[in-house]
Amino acid sequence: MYNDLREKLPIEIRDKAPEPLRMESMFSRGALYPENLQAVVKLVQVVLKDGGVVAALAASAEEPEAVKSKSMLQDIFAILKSEVNGWYHKRLTEL
């Protein structure tokens, strides 16, 4: 879930985001839900704490900075919601 979310982010945020989590393979189950959730929380903290990321994104648009920052966070949370719903549905169908 986190890795998919991370890949959809603008490069300015992705560069400062936590590293991707381990992927599922023959030798590993991959990151579980708690690890994914922790990584998402860290990502949100990075975005909220790092004014440079917000400023860089805000400078590239024509809207006032407060509107751009809010819009960017809304986009991130929309992506997150979509990923969580997809991940949860996938896990339910695997049961």
pLDDT in tens, 20-29: 988 877 777 8
* Domain count across the chain: 1
Note the pTM of the prediction, 2 decimals: 0.54
Residue 67 is predicted with a pLDDT of 46
Domain containing 41 equals 2-94
When pLDDT is cut at 50, 70 and 90, the band that residue 61 belongs to is low
Residue 87 is predicted with a pLDDT of 66
- Higher pLDDT: 21 or 50? It is 21
Task: Give the Å distances, CA to CA, from 78 to 5, 52, 88.
Answer: 10, 22, 15
- How far apart (Å, rounded) are the C-alpha atoms in residues 19 and 38? 12
